[in-house]
Amino acid sequence: MASRRHLRKEEEEELKRQKKELKKSYEKTRPTSKKLGAKQFSDTQKYMLVGSIALVIIIIVAVQFLIPPAKICYFSEGDYVYATLDQDSQKINFNRIIAYYSILPEHTTVDCDIVDYYNATYSLKPPAQPISSYPSSSSIKYQLAEVVSQLTWACLMENGTKLQMSPWINKTTMTTNPLGVNRYTPTNVFFQLEIKTQVQVDRYNASLKFNLNIPNTKITFWSITNGTANATSFAQNGIIFTQGVNLSAKSIILLDFILQINTSRPLGELNLLQSGSVYLVKNDKLLENFAGASAFKESEIDFTGFGLGQEPTLVKTKFLNIVVNIPYYNITVT
């Protein structure tokens, strides 16, 4: 029995030896065209692969340095139409137009001429130097040289044919109830500012800033229905406001709230407001886009000092901002 076990052990060892020899023989004779993931690379092949990758990286970096970035010039223009609310008539009257401009070159220095066309019935106050400007009967030409960073400026137009606010606003009213207060008697007064828009508005803001430093008068926040304010914030800045975006046409913007007024001032009128304003902003629009203002045209920009096909790419934006100022609001002290 011992000799049989010894024989079986020798057979197993011989079988293992044969398997090892077969495996070595296969590795020597297997094809070298196997998949990349299983291929055995030589040192030379490894060096060639690393070198190829490095060459590609060098070429990409060199191209980025050799090819300059694209020349771009960002140009914005906006028309601000200003009006004032008259308390007695509860009407808004047009005051002035301010044409705003901003130029911002990128990856280039800009020399350019900008011509803006406007209604010749308005008196024009062009911006101060260092921008050279040349007003004519119906346009103004600006000459700008070596602009390397953002430059903003504006010109003022007023005393012309009155624009009507009806293309943008149907109604603006500012009312109180009661209309007056008694001396030495704290009185809760209900205020309401209402604006009804004619057109869709991309964003809006309506705010009232009350004068908290009127002698012998105390104004205290009481409550609010529409708008943003509370007793703490009002005591700090006297501001009540509302704002928003994407307002549809024929919408109503409301500020309504109650303030308590306590005064010992002499009989007569008491102006509670320090300032007030309503802003209605339309993107991608200018005055020329609305009836009654078609005499105002877009400005034109002409790049100088560049060869044919070398001009910067012009990226242009525009906006229209309707501004209603509320300079005062009086109540009667009896």
Does 126 sit behind a cis peptide bond, omega within 30 degrees of 0 on the bond before it? no
pLDDT band at 33 (very low <50, low <70, confident <90, very high): very low
pLDDT, tens digit (0-9, with 9 covering 90-100), for 257-297: 999 999 999 889 999 999 999 999 999 999 988 877 777 88
Residue 240 CB neighbour total at 10 angstroms:
26
DSSP letter at 37?
Answer: G
pLDDT, tens digit (0-9, with 9 covering 90-100), for 67-82: 778 899 999 999 999 9
Helix (H) or strand (E) holding 153: strand 151-158
Top-confidence residue, 293 or 324: 324
What mean pLDDT comes out for the span 156-181?
89
Nearest-angstrom CA–CA distance, 77 and 153:
10
- 44 phi/psi in degrees, rounded to 5: -60, -45
Nearest-angstrom CA–CA distance, 45 and 175:
87
- Specify the pLDDT at position 121: 83
Nearest-angstrom CA–CA distance, 177 and 329:
13
Going by C-alpha positions, the residue among 276, 255, 280 that lies closest to residue 205 is: 280
At residue 35, does pLDDT exceed 60? no
Helices (H), 67-108: none
- Specify the pLDDT at position 15: 67
Contacts of 285 (CB under 8 A, 6+ apart): 318, 319, 320
Domains and CATH numbers, the chain: 73-78+98-159+292-319 (2.60.40.680), 169-282+325-333 (2.60.40)
